Structure 1
Amino acid sequence: MASDQGNNQSVERAMAVLGVFLNGHPELRVSDVVRITGLGTSTTSRLLATLESLDFVERDGISGLYRLGTAPITLGGVAVNNHPVHREARQLAQELAARLELGANVAIRHGAALFYLLNFEGRQAPRSTVLTGQRKPLHATGLGKCLLLGLAPEQRRELLPEAELHGFTHATITSHRALDAELDKAARHGYATEVEELAHGRSCVAAPIRDRTGSITAAISISGPLSTVALDRRETELARAAIEAADSISVGLGYVGPRGAPAAAVPERSRA
């Protein structure tokens, strides 16, 4: 039992060391890792040396700074390629981004955050970073709103206490009353929108993806700069594209649709 506890502690410490590179710290000194993790210097040095030997971290030969290595990339690639939503959505999202020249993103819910499974960039929506693997807030994104549609109001409040509905811009929804109203509208229309709620200058349209049980298991969004997405002119077009893409992915996952229920209609003009 003592041996098992020691092994578990070693694994937890190693994961803590790797975790420091995930929060805006691409390159770190040993002393930085010690400070962030609270581990001892000798323990941290041994863990970094072991992780380096396994390619989980690598050390710059000139600066001596540590950064993530290639092993996490390999593991991440295998994990995402084996995810059923990623398999069904990848080609369709790639084609969507190329056709609309905007970003196409697919995410699932991971606890109280959304987790990007994939993203493709259109010519008019370039990004300087890869979204795959990143986590974002549910209440401040179109993808997150679609994922929250799968929860009852009381479940949403338990998952996201109102104090956790942080504001990121002047437009962020920060109360459950306002969030409920937004989600009611999304449920009626079959899609959700987001305009500068997470970051200034960007907006999106998103639609929920369902699995064979009918549960919302993921969401797909079309995103980009405000001027390019132009919801005042293109909401109907982009909403229809998002819904059609979500429906195709859902069918691939085994969803056959609600019995006797008509397909969700896209409004003929913006109701945002």
Structure 2
Amino acid sequence: MATPPGRTAPFHSVRYALRLLETIAGHPDGIRADELGQATGLPPNQQDQLLRMLVAEGYAREPFENVFAPGEALLMLSGGASAGDGTGDDGDGEESRRRFRDERLQRALDALRDSLNAPVYLARYADGELEVPRISDTPDAPGVNEWVDFRSAAHATAIGKCLLSQLDHDGRQDHLARHRAARLTSRTITDRRVLLTTLDRQPPTVPVLDFQEYAVGTLCAAVPLTAGSTVGCLALSLPIGEAHRLRRAAEELNRQAASALLSLSL
């Protein structure tokens, strides 16, 4: 059965974008688009779309028509000095690259927030615990009130279930053994077997949805965001009055996740 368009786009797009960047990085003076296609094997339409994204994000630049060279962001993240900043491979240079990467990631999250008109969350599962290190929200689109610590509510949130679904069976069992599945609303799944079955049946390319399982009046959606060995996800939340927007917003989050994932991957 064919995969619905867009559902695997973030993962495929980032893999292909990294392939393009690897080739471009090897040609500091620039490489023609047709040579890029020969080197990467990407279809022209797909390559053109990704190149536009890379140029817009500053990872590549187009000094001449249909000629692409490493952009300022790629040079910075790969360890080269940004023009005129004097950074090298010392500790200060590494700190500058870390800050630069963090700024680009936050910018990607803010762009998603504005595009979706909803708060956006970046979450990960590390050292046996759920973490939500970044939230991009506004007064008009506020984040969820964390009335129960997210670390203890993985069973009841789209974020938590999206992260747990990326773990193996033993990892899920270990987490649930340390965090009892408490009932937070009338919709919360508390039966471990039912929860594990739900996680087993979650397709990896389909957004996870939460219909008032964590908090009454709040809906959430999350999509996997895997960079290397990191288990992560992007999520959004909406008030119950905007329930009609949830599925479409979740699909849009999935389609637009590539820029955030690329920031994590580099």
Residues 1:152 and 2:168 are matched in the alignment? yes
Q: Of residues 223, 232, 235 in structure 2, which corresponds to 1:221? A: 235
Alignment of 1:86-97 (within 5 A): 89-97=105-113
C-alpha contact (below 8 Å) 1:211/1:250 kept by paired residues: yes
| Compared CA separation, residues 85 and 110, structure 1 to 2 (3 A) | farther
Alignment of 1:27-38 (within 5 A): none
Q: 1:39 aligns to what?
A: none
Q: Of residues 250, 265, 271 in structure 1, which corresponds to 2:261? A: 250
Structure 1 residue 173: deviation in Å? 1.4
C-alpha contact (below 8 Å) 1:112/1:160 kept by paired residues: no
Alignment of 1:70-149 (within 5 A): 82=98, 89-122=105-138, 124-127=140-143, 135=151, 137-149=153-165
| CA deviation string 1:43-82 (max 9, x = no partner) | xxxxxxxxxxxxxxxxxxxxxxxxxxxxxxxxxxxx9x95
C-alpha contact (below 8 Å) 2:124/2:230 kept by paired residues: no
C-alpha contact (below 8 Å) 2:109/2:260 kept by paired residues: no
Alignment of 1:17-56 (within 5 A): none
- Could you tell me the TM-score, scaled by structure 2's length? 0.54
List gaps (5 residues or longer) in structure 1: 1-78, 256-272
- Could you tell me the TM-score, scaled by structure 1's length? 0.53
SS in 2 for 1:222: strand
User: Which one-letter code corresponds to 1:247 in the other structure?
Assistant: A
Task: Give the Cα separation in 1 of the matches to 2:158 and 2:221.
Answer: 6
C-alpha contact (below 8 Å) 1:85/1:218 kept by paired residues: no
Higher relative contact order structure (alpha carbons within 8 Å, sequence separation ≥ 6): 2
Residues 1:169 and 2:185 are matched in the alignment? yes
SS in 2 for 1:97: helix
Q: 2:212 aligns to what?
A: 196
Q: 1:14 aligns to what?
A: none
C-alpha contact (below 8 Å) 2:205/2:223 kept by paired residues: no
C-alpha contact (below 8 Å) 1:194/1:203 kept by paired residues: yes
Structure 1 residue 223: deviation in Å? 0.6
| Compared CA separation, residues 191 and 128, structure 1 to 2 (3 A) | closer
User: Which one-letter code corresponds to 2:232 in the other structure?
Assistant: A
| Compared CA separation, residues 206 and 134, structure 1 to 2 (3 A) | closer
Task: Give the Cα separation in 2 of the matches to 1:224 and 1:146.
Answer: 17
List gaps (5 residues or longer) in structure 2: 1-94
C-alpha contact (below 8 Å) 1:147/1:216 kept by paired residues: no
What is the RMSD of the two structures over their aligned residues, measured on CA atoms? 3.4
Task: Give the Cα separation in 2 of the matches to 1:185 and 1:83.
Answer: 38
Count of residue pairs brought into register by the alignment: 170
Task: Give the Cα separation in 2 of the matches to 1:190 and 1:216.
Answer: 19
Q: Sequence identity of aligned pairs in percent?
A: 24
Structure 1 residue 243: deviation in Å? 1.3
Structure 1 residue 159: deviation in Å? 2.1
User: Which one-letter code corresponds to 1:227 in the other structure?
Assistant: G
C-alpha contact (below 8 Å) 1:84/1:253 kept by paired residues: no
C-alpha contact (below 8 Å) 2:220/2:235 kept by paired residues: yes
| Structure label with greater radius of gyration | 1
